Chains A and B, each alone.
Chain A
Amino acid sequence: GAGVSQTPSNKVTEKGKYVELRCDPISGHTALYWYRQSLGQGPEFLIYFQGTGAADDSGLPNDRFFAVRPEGSVSTLKIQRTERGDSAVYLCASSSLAGRRDEQFFGPGTRLTVL
C-alpha cells in the first residue's frame, strides 16, 4: 500500500515569502504529526493532529507557523514571512490509534531552503 507522501520534495523560497507544505498520510491513519529536522539533528516535534483537530501544537516555534487538516486526511503546514532559520527538512508522519499505536510512518520530507 501507499506510504506517507509529501509535496513538494524540495522548495526554495526567498526570505519573507509564504510557503505551504503538503502531507498525504496513510489511508485510515487518524493521527498525523509534523516535525522539522535540521542538519545533524533529530526530528523536532511541531504539531500533532487527531482527526481534524490540532491536539498538541506545543512545538510550533511561533505564530508564523500554522497547520491545518480540514477533512482529517491531508494536512498542510503553512509558514508565513519565511526566515533563513526556517530552512530544514520538514517531515510528516502518520499513525493508527488502533493496534500499532504510536508507531509512526514517516514521509520522505520536504527540504525547505530560504534564501
Chain B
Amino acid sequence: AQSVAQPEDQVNVAEGNPLTVKCTYSVSGNPYLFWYVQYPNRGLQFLLKYITGDNLVKGSYGFEAEFNKSQTSFHLKKPSALVSDSALYFCAVRDADYGQNFVFGPGTRLSVLP
C-alpha cells in the first residue's frame, strides 16, 4: 500500500524568499507523484506531476518539485514566494503498477508574510 507524509503542518515564509514544502512517499511499485493546491473556498487545483523523465518538474504559478528516488521525496519549491501563494498544499502518490488509488498527504498550510 502507498502512503504520503507531509512532515510540516505549517510553513511560514517571507514574501520574496524561497519556499519549500516537504513530501515523502512510500509505494511498492513505480511512483506517480503530484502536488495540488487548495485556496480558501475553492476546489483543489493541480500544480504539477512527476511520471517519468527529468527529476525536476516545473508546474503552474512558478512552482517546481524535485523527485528524489533514493530519499523517496518530492519536495515542492518556488524561488520567490508571493503573498498570493498562501494556501493549503497537498502531495499525492499513485502506484503506477497498481490501480487508480491516489493517496493524498494531510496537507501543509503555507503562509507567505508580506
Contact = CB atoms under 8 A, between A and B. Distances in A.
Contacts, number: 61
Contacts of B12: none
Contacts of B42: 108
A45 B102 contact: yes
Nearest to A95: B46
Nearest to A108: B43
Given A42-B90, A103-B49, A55 B100 contact: yes
Main secondary structure of the interface of B (DSSP, over half): strand
A56 B99 contact: yes
A58 B99 contact: yes
B104 A43 contact: yes
A25 interface: no
B94 interface: yes
A56 B90 contact: no
